[in-house]
Amino acid sequence: MILSKQQIVEIMERFKVQNPNPKSELDFKNPFTLLVSVVLSAQATDKSVNFYTKPLYEVADSPQKILALGQEKLIEFIKPIGLWKNKSKNIIALSKRLIEVFGGIVPDSREKLMSLPGVGRKTANVVLNVVFGQNTMPVDTHLLRICPKIGLAEGTTPEQVENSLLKNIPSEYLQHAHHWLLLHGRYVCTARNPKCNECLIRDLCLNGSSLKGD
């Protein structure tokens, strides 16, 4: 079930008032370091990625510098983040491809980004939104979990939920909508013990509105 357009607009307006200019919680220096951080953030927290990439980006903040560093040295920086074997392999490979195919520049299209090793649709959407200001909808585990529950989207896969959100959320909110929803899922509408009493959209949420008598 999907909320009405008026209800969805009201949800977006409340998020906008609360946080008019949301930012990514990943620290980055340039488009390349954001791309690497998003790749590293798979099954890891932004906090851990930020902690371990800070010293990395002080010595290697471009594809050329990553290749000069080499995979073994790269592993020393990122190993505590987890899944370091595949992640280090992909970061080296995507750095090579960026140089060989794109002149060392992070491309601004989903198709080109997804041609890079280790870069899926969500990662591409994050880069397109944060770096290039495109109205994309990166769907991570938080959005996949909360958006159908709230009544903002239908679907059971990331791409289904992404397409539903793009259809249902008015375009004027799409620049920031995924950040609002990500932060909401991360800090309020948590998987365990959601903070419904602190939720600013509880009266509109399909799940929360049923809890009015609490």
- Answer whether 122's CB lies under 8 Å from 138's CB: yes
Contacts of 130 (CB under 8 A, 6+ apart): 24, 34
Options 47, 122, 203, 214, the catalytic residue: 122
Calpha distance 106→34 (Å, rounded): 10
Q: Which two tokens stand for residue 120?
A: 């899926």
Catalytic residue list contains 85: no
Which of 111, 119, 103 lies closest to 36, judged by CA? 119
Calpha distance 45→42 (Å, rounded): 8
Give me the helix-helix angle, 121-130 and 158-168, nearest 10°. Answer: 40
First to last CA, the chain: 23
Options 79, 140, 203, 212, the catalytic residue: 140
Catalytic residue list contains 140: yes
Cite the active site residues: 122, 140
